Structure 1
Amino acid sequence: MTRVGLGTIAREWGRIGCVGFGGPPAHIALLRDLCVTRRGWLTEREFEDGVAVTNLLPGPASTQLAILCAWRLRGVTGAVLGGVCFIVPGLVLILALAALFLADDAPAWVLGAAAGAGAAVPAVAVHAAWGLVPGSRRRVGARRSARLRWALHLVVGGVAAAITGPWLVLVLLVAGAVEVGARTSGGDRRTAWPVVLALPAVGGGLGAVAWVAAKVGALSYGGGFVIIPMMRQDAVHTYGWMTDAQFLNAVALGQITPGPVVQTVAVVGYAAAGLGGGLLAAFVAFAPSFAMVVAVGPRLERLRDDARAQAFLTGAGAAAIGAIGGSTVPLAWSLHQPWQFAVLGAALLWLLALKRGVVSALLVSGAVGVLVAVL
């Protein structure tokens, strides 16, 4: 283990937290440039192993990768410091924007920007799902039965996201368990995956905020977007903390700020209980990532070659991709103005046909919303 000073970790991981716009691809590229290319702290193989194993874990993979890289350089202390410095810049920015966008007396141009950026969110979900398909299919294998199961998991995940928000995590877990069972049938069946119920918490207040955030942080198989339907169900329908339009704003803010889309839950917590709710939601959502990396760091590499872990990821991952795509249905249903549907169509063209970036799509859409509001 290369021993790096804590001051260096705080500075470098904090820098990535400030400039890491663009989601996981940008975070991985920045971490690779720092740890492998410029500083030589990790070999290319060590870094690729880190990418592989963090993708096997539930939760924000790029955040877990940042924590894991820091852990390899300075142990538990480095992991905690690096993870915090990576998360905090985006968290501060997203909470500041939440205070502006969710204010009762927000200016017209702010509301317009929110409506414009929110209109592009369903297109961002489609783009996220489409980008995950090729890599996931490569893991499936050549057998026809495996391809059929993958397609079935994909469809089931999409339907679940569209119509069964609070039960989505159960669908992902079942899809993963089915794939494990299919691959171990006739052989060693001594495997057990935890079944975590995705039921809404009883009551409300900070306890409900913590419960929603815990589900987001511990059960987001396949990336941050997969928990959007579940989060929307809790925030909009179960507890009534936000309107559909405000939730779209929250997702947009999670995309245009540095850091993982999981930070959307901080906006939900802010809507529920102010600044304290936002900070609590962020703490609870990110705590599982720290716990998993720190607790099982020495054994994470074994997951890469674990057949049962790979099988579970194939099943749950396919369902997650379907869920990300299926989330576009309720998100698009939340739009009301004709010009918002025009923005949505333009965003789809921008992302899928022209292959431009997500941040630019949201910023341009927000600018269109400002023009509509002003004119």
Structure 2
Amino acid sequence: MNPQLIDIAKVFLKLGTIAFGGPAAHIAMMDEEIVNKRQWISREKLLDLLGVTNLIPGPNSTELAIHIGYEKAGWKGLVIAGCSFIIPAVAIVWILAIIYVRYQNVPSAEWLLYGIKPVVIAIIIQALWKLGKKAAKDTPTTIGGVLATLGFFFGFDEVIILLTVGLGVMIYKNFPKKNIQGLFLLPFSGLFAQTNVNLIFSPNEINIFLVFLKIGSILYGGGYVLLAFLQRDLVENYQWLTSQQLLDAIAIGQLTPGPIFTTATFVGYLVAGNLGAICATVGIFLPSFSFVLLINPWVDKIRNSKFASGFLDGVNTASLGLMAGVTYTLIRTSVIDVFTCILTIVTAVIVFRYQVNSAWLVLGGALLGFIVTN
């Protein structure tokens, strides 16, 4: 294999194995590995790719990995990066699904997240600081980022926040001009989110693939939005799962590293065994590969357009504003006692002052969590 593709596989296999903590943590780790350590792309380019991923359906961090692979080595890099990032989590979830079917119980690993979450918080804070200095490049983008964070706390829809801030910054920067014509990347597929298939599907492999293909094509937002889609389709409409099984599936997705969309692997296995797991996983992630392949070539054109560039600047800073809101939520649920508070502070000092590999920090957090809770 091409040495470049081998490098891509190694990096994203590692990230997929240690990337606990959701999209914000994944983005922080990619910034460290891709921008800081390897200089594969600039931080400005990473922000542009992140801004674009926020405007299309699917798991943002996975799509960012796919974008980076495409930037590095074309369509082959796209496939290698995406699959390498997804496969570790899929393998872990698949094994847990087998155990679950046998014992009808979710394995307990509170100690793992107890030690890892505070470490991840510090990694995210460092990434926010670095990315924020690039994204908040002037007064309009800085204000846009603050407004996006406020919008998050007031419960506004994430896509509405991104579009509003993006358009606001674009209009402000180009207000004197007439006949504003920009290249807008609007999430039209979200219009299909209300489309519902009323057919009663039997849980065979083809139907599992089609259901998860639909979800992967129209889903914006994180795990709670995914939960709502799966509840409506798989529990209420098709009655493939019980609500308890669905909650257990979401819990497994949050417990394991990598994208929470690997919940699909767990659900697919519960419904139709190994083939079901494969069909569900391919179905939910395939749209992300397709969207990135179609959109990536336009990223530079968007940046070179004066109007679209202003829009992208707004989307970038809004993305970080939302990331800041998510970070606050994570802090409230992860920093829960003296130990986790001290661990967060110590890790923050380490990541800001020393170039320590995030993999070692995550492993160290897991070990400390095990020691403290056992």
Alignment TM-score, normalising by the size of structure 2: 0.64
Which residue is equivalent to 2:340?
A: 347
Which residue is equivalent to 1:313?
A: 316
Which residue is equivalent to 2:356?
A: none
Structure 1 distance, partners of 2:293, 2:363, is 32
Pick the aligned partner of 1:112 from 108, 111, 114: 108
Structure 2 distance, partners of 1:16, 1:168, is 29
Are 1:158 and 1:324, in contact at CA under 8 Å, matched by a contact in 2?
no
Q: Does residue 136 of structure 2 align to residue 140 of structure 1?
A: yes
Which residue is equivalent to 1:187?
A: 177
Is the alpha carbon distance of 1:124 and 1:215 closer, same or farther for their aligned partners in structure 2, counting shifts above 3 Å? farther
Helix, strand or coil for the counterpart of 1:56?
A: helix
Is the alpha carbon distance of 1:351 and 1:304 closer, same or farther for their aligned partners in structure 2, counting shifts above 3 Å? farther
Alignment of 1:1-375 (within 5 A): 6-20=1-15, 21-22=18-19, 23-24=26-27, 26-27=29-30, 50-58=45-53, 59-60=60-61, 61-71=64-74, 76=75, 78-83=76-81, 86-87=84-85, 89-99=87-97, 102-103=100-101, 105=103, 111-113=107-109, 115-118=110-113, 123=118, 126-127=121-122, 130-134=125-129, 135-136=131-132, 138-143=134-139, 146-160=141-155, 167-187=157-177, 189-191=180-182, 192-196=184-188, 197=190, 199=193, 202=196, 206=208, 207-215=210-218, 219=220, 227-235=222-230, 239=235, 240=243, 242=245, 247-254=250-257, 261-262=258-259, 264-271=260-267, 274=270, 275-276=274-275, 278-305=277-304, 306-326=309-329, 332=333, 346-355=339-348, 357-362=361-366, 364-365=368-369, 371=374
| Identity percentage of aligned residues | 8
Residue identity in the other structure for 1:361:
G
Cα distance, 1:270 vs. partner? 1.6
Structure 1 distance, partners of 2:275, 2:229, is 18
Structure 2 distance, partners of 1:312, 1:180, is 10
Q: How many residues align?
A: 318
Q: Deviations over 1:98-145 (max 9, x none)?
A: 3256446168xx7331x33455687577556534432225422443x6
Which residue is equivalent to 1:337?
A: none
Structure 2 distance, partners of 1:363, 1:208, is 39
Are 1:49 and 1:301, in contact at CA under 8 Å, matched by a contact in 2?
no
Structure 1 distance, partners of 2:83, 2:142, is 41
Cα distance, 1:312 vs. partner? 2.3
Are 1:140 and 1:146, in contact at CA under 8 Å, matched by a contact in 2?
yes
Structure 2 distance, partners of 1:245, 1:85, is 25
Helix, strand or coil for the counterpart of 2:103?
A: coil
Gaps of 5+ in 1: 1-5, 37-43, 221-226, 255-260, 333-339
Are 1:118 and 1:252, in contact at CA under 8 Å, matched by a contact in 2?
yes
Cα distance, 1:69 vs. partner? 0.7
Is the alpha carbon distance of 1:27 and 1:136 closer, same or farther for their aligned partners in structure 2, counting shifts above 3 Å? closer
Are 2:142 and 2:317, in contact at CA under 8 Å, matched by a contact in 1?
no
Is the alpha carbon distance of 1:84 and 1:230 closer, same or farther for their aligned partners in structure 2, counting shifts above 3 Å? closer
Cα distance, 1:245 vs. partner? 6.3
Alignment TM-score, normalising by the size of structure 1: 0.64
Are 1:269 and 1:281, in contact at CA under 8 Å, matched by a contact in 2?
yes
Residue identity in the other structure for 2:85:
I
Q: Deviations over 1:68-98 (max 9, x none)?
A: 2121xxxx3x235533552354244333343
Is the alpha carbon distance of 1:124 and 1:293 closer, same or farther for their aligned partners in structure 2, counting shifts above 3 Å? same
Is the alpha carbon distance of 1:363 and 1:200 closer, same or farther for their aligned partners in structure 2, counting shifts above 3 Å? farther
Gaps of 5+ in 2: 20-25, 54-59, 236-242, 351-360
Structure 2 distance, partners of 1:128, 1:232, is 27
Helix, strand or coil for the counterpart of 1:112?
A: coil
Structure 1 distance, partners of 2:316, 2:335, is 35
Cα distance, 1:350 vs. partner? 1.7
Helix, strand or coil for the counterpart of 2:256?
A: helix
